[in-house]
Amino acid sequence: MLSKPSLDETRRHGVEELDTLRGMVLAWREHYFQSAPPRGGQDFLFLCKDFSDEIEDYIYPYVLRMLGTEHIDQGQAREFLDFCYRQVLGLQDYLDIGDESPD
């Protein structure tokens, strides 16, 4: 019979998962940066929306599930999602879009 992992083991696995997800987000970011020229402006605003949508569609639900299963705590979830959205803002800055919303 399998024993339930301790909270420490569960949290350690959660940290590993966040590291994996962070790598995915950075890979997506690199792809978006390669898809547009620096200071590409409004013509490339759709890339920010696409990037934001990918985070909302794929990353956010996964992070919520890890939070619900106690693999991470609320502080870790908030910090990680902030990291994700900072990547979108970095793309906006790269495109020189300013304060335009990707939504």
pLDDT at position 97, please? 81
pLDDT 10s digits, 65-82: 999 999 999 999 999 999
**Half-sphere exposure of residue 66: CA atoms within 13 angstroms, side-chain side:** 27
pLDDT at position 100, please? 47
Domains of the chain, by residue range, sit at 10-95
| Consecutive 10-residue averages of pLDDT for the chain (103 residues) | 84 96 98 94 94 98 97 97 97 82 48
Q: What is the mean pLDDT of the chain?
A: 92
pTM: 0.85
**How is residue 5 annotated by DSSP?**
P
